[in-house]
Amino acid sequence: MSQVTGATGASTIHGHGHEHGHSPFLQHHFAEMEQQFDASKIGMWLFLVTEILLFGGLFVGFGIMQGKFPEAFYEAHHHLDWKLGALNTVVLLVSSYTMVMAVHSASKSNQKALIRYLVITLLCAAIFLVVKYFEYEHKIHDGLLPGKFYTYKGDHVPGGQQATFFSFYFMMTGLHGLHILGGMTVIGWVLKRAIAGHFNSSYYTPVDLVGLYWHLVDLIWIYLFPLLYLIS
Amino acid sequence: MADVIAAPGQLSGGGTQEQKNYLNETKGIASWLFTVDHKRIGIMYLWAVLASFFIGGVFALLVRLELLTPKETIMSAEAYNRVFTLHGAVMVFLFIIPSIPAALGNFVLPLMLGAKDVAFPRLNLASFWIYAIGAIFAVTAMVTGGVDTGWTFYTPYSTTTSGAVSTMTFAAFILGFSSIFTGINFIATIHKLRAPGMSWYKMPLFCWSMYATSIIQVLATPVLGITLLLLIMERAFQIGIFDAKLGGDPVLFQHFFWFYSHPAVYIMILPGMAIISEIIPVFSRKTIFGYKAIAFSSVAIALVGFFVWGHHMFVSGQSVLAGAIFSFLTFLVAIPSAIKVFNWLTTMYKGQISLKTPMLYALSFLLLFAIGGLTGVFLGALSVNVHLHDTYFVVAHFHYVMMGGTVIAFLGGLHYWWPKMFGRMFNERVGAIACALVFIGFNVTFLTQFVLGSQGMPRRYYNYLDQFQPLHAFSTFGSWILGLGLLIAAVNLFSTFRKKPDAPRNPWGAATLEWQTDTPPITHNFHHTPTIDHGPYDYFPGQRKHA
């Protein structure tokens, strides 16, 4: 343990003064861009893990309640319009594709394409929210609301657990919707920086990380859609 | 002998420091609140957790005072319920969880790795701000009706009682994010910012333990987040997941809650073990025994700790099979803890032990944690658990682990790194007296409670049978000794600010990197990138080439 190891080249990596020219986006506590990129990527993946566990709790809760009250949940799910759900699924899948292309364009220093794909991704997110808005409006109109605010009178299966279904529906899609809004904010931020010309093949970490986040938001919807809309 | 690092107490290296350091480089409140320097963030966290410790401690003393007599002593039953809830919630969410990782760890971990900062300094600052916001919510809950559910917020009581339950759980929800951010930061820092030459097995064991802690923080905390959110929704909308009236399942809350909160117990104790692994070799002048065993037992605790939550629910109506499996897994998790204790003891064997204040706390830790850990094995046994469930035996057990373990280790670490953080030495004799009082007071307070519990005294009760009074009174007297010891320790540490900085670079003769830089460190931590030319516990690097 006491032998001198690894000291070779130590002063060039991690040194105080970065004598050779480096990216303006290199933060002072990193020695080089690659190290900074790797650290950011680890951080982002860990954040995504926490997101999965956050939604995971809701999925488990939903699964347990559905297992207890399959008929009520089956009846309640008929109020959801699977066509709108499917439309939104397609919209998000397209947005995932455009996000991949945005990252790819950034890695090729193709600024025009990067901006174009980011704008399309943002548009898809907006379409998703508009569709969601009409779905919510319909539920609110019919009194299909969470918990004690559930006023719908036409249920056939007794017990009132349709209200629980809609509690979960609103919590899960609501939390997901907040993530879409968050995603739009960060995509907007990346778009602004892309227009300012910050990204090229040697530095596009934010595009990459926002892309990862966006894929996760899409992925959660891919699971939410069959779970809520396609109960059999 | 030139390259022998000085023994503890034998002051060496670096003179007094009028030069620039992280404390005096910039001035003004904004330079602290908006700093991204991990050391300053660590110090802000330190003041915050110490304030929380004080508040939680006052609540604890009030609880003990109320229990001095079998009937009403100083407060009503309702007030008592609130006070013990606030004691638990403040101590767990505002003090213990952030205490070692976010306060001491933030300061020390990058230094130990030879890094200039954590991987995400702004995220680190965000973590502190989120903590502050969470604390504001918690205080709001205290002054707007209080909470009387106990810190565990068990349903159905928590969904039906009045008071500020939603505010308090929302506070815990927010505090969870600050904990997650710290965890993400530490994992990325340990992966990517180790100094050149510092392989995983050359890291100080503190970092291994912090790594294990961070994994739990990242994996378990989101589940608590969603659980508390569901609880808030249950209260606000009656969504029916935990409410049996609406077809929900109150026990499901316990599953959700303990899925986080049992791993959270390891979020609390692993950092304590991290500090002990540093202090014991330094004050024994001996390389740590079983480096890899200690390192991997931390990881093992983190992993197995995820599968033992059911041992909180042996009498909550889970199946016998589930109970047996959880019981078995609980025994399993005791093994890595025992491995650590044996390795620490073996490290001391034939060492040159010097009984400085940090070492006194470490020795206290060994004794108290052994008791706390072993009584945990009692409680993990199904049949014994049925007898002892929800009695003072449980209270005594987890105080031996949380206070006797984590808090004692925190105090040891605080004394150990105080000179590095502020450049000031505390009074050694007063420090030792305080430690002795804490140790005695703690045992008087809580050893008694094992007896109370085994005789059937239930926890959280306001009134009790007259036959228990002598033991309860004894425990209350102990709490005063404990409080006095902590007060003396605080005075001893804070009075160092009245004198000139006098701490040398490496007062204890430690071999880890944080002691090789200035005291207090400069803002960028090191003047030159450190090179790793000896192991973290190699105190005689020139003499033992074969090690």
Q: Tokens at residue A93, please?
A: 């899948």
CA B123 to chain centre: 22
Please tell me if residue A67 touches chain B, with a CB cutoff of 8 Å.
Answer: no
CB contact under 8 A, B196 and A9: yes
Q: Is A83 exposed, middle or buried (0-12, 13-18, 19+ CB in 10 A)?
A: exposed
CB contact under 8 A, A7 and B196: yes
Tell me how far apart the alpha carbons of residues A156 and B190 are, in angstroms, rounded to a whole number. Answer: 58
Asked whether the beta carbons of B179 and B96 are under 8 A apart, the reply is no
Does A4 score more than 50 pLDDT? no
Asked whether the beta carbons of B101 and B214 are under 8 A apart, the reply is yes
- List residues bridging with B525 in a β-sheet: B522
Going from the C-alpha of A55 to that of each of A11, A50, A90, A219, the distances in angstroms are 45, 9, 21, 11
Does B7 score more than 60 pLDDT? no
Q: Cβ of B353: how many Cβ atoms within 10 Å?
A: 16
Nearest to B521 by CA among B22, B8, B24, B70: B22
* B contacts of A13 (beta carbons < 8 Å): 196, 529
Tell me how far apart the alpha carbons of residues B540 and B503 are, in angstroms, rounded to a whole number. Answer: 22
Interface test with A, best of B106, B178, B224, B246 (most A CBs within 10 A): B246
Interface test with B, best of A167, A172, A178 (most B CBs within 10 A): A167
Interface test with B, best of A13, A29, A38, A149 (most B CBs within 10 A): A29
CB contact under 8 A, A46 and B183: yes
Question: Cα distance from A86 to chain B (closest Cα, Å)?
Answer: 26
pLDDT single digits (tens) B366-394? 999 999 999 999 999 999 999 999 999 99
Asked whether the beta carbons of B396 and B472 are under 8 A apart, the reply is no
Type of residue numbered A230: L
Asked whether the beta carbons of B197 and B226 are under 8 A apart, the reply is no
- CATH number at A65-229: 1.20.120.80
E strands, B248-300, are: none
**Ordered alpha helix ranges (H), B389-509:** 392-401, 408-422, 428-454, 469-494
* B contacts of A56 (beta carbons < 8 Å): 222-223, 226
Using alpha carbons only, what angle is made at residue B192 by residues B190 and B195, rounded to the nearest 5 degrees? 80
Considering chain B, what is the average pLDDT of its residues? 92
Tell me how far apart the alpha carbons of residues A89 and A101 are, in angstroms, rounded to a whole number. Answer: 19
pLDDT of residue B8: 54
What is the SS3 assignment for B181-230? HHHHHHHHHHHHCCCCCCCHHHCCHHHHHHHHHHHHHHHHHHHHHHHHHH
Nearest by CB: B196 against A10, A54, A147: A10
* B contacts of A148 (beta carbons < 8 Å): 237-238
pLDDT single digits (tens) A114-161? 999 999 999 999 999 999 999 999 999 999 988 888 988 888 888 888
Cis bond leading into B156, ω under 30°? yes
Rounded average pLDDT over B144-152: 90
Q: Which residue ranges make up each domain of chain A? A: 65-229
Asked whether the beta carbons of B396 and B403 are under 8 A apart, the reply is no
**HSE-up of A179 (CA within 13 Å, CB side)?**
22
Question: Cα distance from B126 to chain A (closest Cα, Å)?
Answer: 14
pLDDT of residue A146: 87
Nearest to B465 by CA among B76, B63, B70: B70
pLDDT of residue A10: 37
Collapsing DSSP to helix, strand or coil, B474 comes out as helix
Give the rounded percent of residues in chain B with a pLDDT score beyond 90: 85
pLDDT single digits (tens) B177-234? 999 999 999 999 999 999 999 999 999 999 999 999 999 999 999 999 999 999 999 9
Tell me how far apart the alpha carbons of residues B394 and B378 are, in angstroms, rounded to a whole number. Answer: 10
Tell me how far apart the alpha carbons of residues B450 and B457 are, in angstroms, rounded to a whole number. Answer: 10
Q: Tell me which residues of chain A, numbers 150 to 189, contact chain B at a CB-CB cutoff of 8 Å.
A: 159-161, 163-164, 167-168, 171
pLDDT of residue A13: 39
pLDDT single digits (tens) B274-314? 999 999 999 999 999 999 999 999 999 999 999 999 999 99
pLDDT of residue B244: 87
CB contact under 8 A, A56 and B223: yes
Q: Is B198 exposed, middle or buried (0-12, 13-18, 19+ CB in 10 A)?
A: buried
Rounded average pLDDT over B507-534: 92
Considering chain A, what is the average pLDDT of its residues? 89
Please give the model's pTM, rounded to 2 decimal places.
Answer: 0.92
Quote the DSSP letter at residue B36.
-
pLDDT of residue B246: 86
Tell me how far apart the alpha carbons of residues B290 and A6 are, in angstroms, rounded to a whole number. Answer: 23
Residue A99: CB partners within 8 Å, gap ≥ 6? Answer: A117, A121, A210, A211, A214, A215
Task: List, in order of start, the domains of chain B with CATH numbers.
Answer: 29-515 (1.20.210.10)
Asked whether the beta carbons of A42 and B118 are under 8 A apart, the reply is no
pLDDT of residue A148: 86
Tell me how far apart the alpha carbons of residues A207 and B81 are, in angstroms, rounded to a whole number. Answer: 51
CB contact under 8 A, A2 and B219: no
Please tell me if residue A51 touches chain B, with a CB cutoff of 8 Å.
Answer: yes
* A contacts of B173 (beta carbons < 8 Å): none
pLDDT single digits (tens) B306-352? 999 999 999 988 888 999 999 999 999 999 999 999 999 999 999 99
Q: Is A204 exposed, middle or buried (0-12, 13-18, 19+ CB in 10 A)?
A: buried
pLDDT single digits (tens) A23-45? 888 888 898 888 999 999 999 99
* Closest chain B CA to residue A39: B188
Q: Tell me which residues of chain A, numbers 199 to 218, contact chain B at a CB-CB cutoff of 8 Å.
A: none
pLDDT single digits (tens) A156-180? 888 888 999 999 999 999 999 999 9
Residue for token digits 């130990």?
Answer: B112
Q: Tokens at residue B24, please?
A: 């005096």
Collapsing DSSP to helix, strand or coil, A218 comes out as helix
Using alpha carbons only, what angle is made at residue B510 by residues B508 and B513, rounded to the nearest 5 degrees? 130
* B contacts of A53 (beta carbons < 8 Å): 219-220, 222-223, 226
Q: How confident is residue A12, by pLDDT bands cut at 50, 70 and 90?
A: very low
CB contact under 8 A, B226 and A58: yes
Question: Cα distance from B443 to chain A (closest Cα, Å)?
Answer: 39
Does A11 score more than 50 pLDDT? no
Cis bond leading into B358, ω under 30°? no
Tell me how far apart the alpha carbons of residues A128 and B446 are, in angstroms, rounded to a whole number. Answer: 58
Say what the alpha-carbon torsion angle B171, B190, B264, B180 is, to the nearest 10 degrees. 20
Rounded average pLDDT over B142-154: 90
Rounded average pLDDT over B161-166: 90
Q: Tell me which residues of chain A, numbers 100 to 159, contact chain B at a CB-CB cutoff of 8 Å.
A: 146-149, 159
CB contact under 8 A, A2 and B538: yes
End-to-end C-alpha distance for chain B, whole angstroms: 17
Please tell me if residue A39 touches chain B, with a CB cutoff of 8 Å.
Answer: yes
Asked whether the beta carbons of B136 and B153 are under 8 A apart, the reply is no
CB contact under 8 A, A147 and B239: yes
pLDDT of residue B448: 96
Angle between helices B428-454 and B357-380 (to 10 degrees): 10
**HSE-up of B272 (CA within 13 Å, CB side)?**
29
Tell me how far apart the alpha carbons of residues B62 and B84 are, in angstroms, rounded to a whole number. Answer: 9
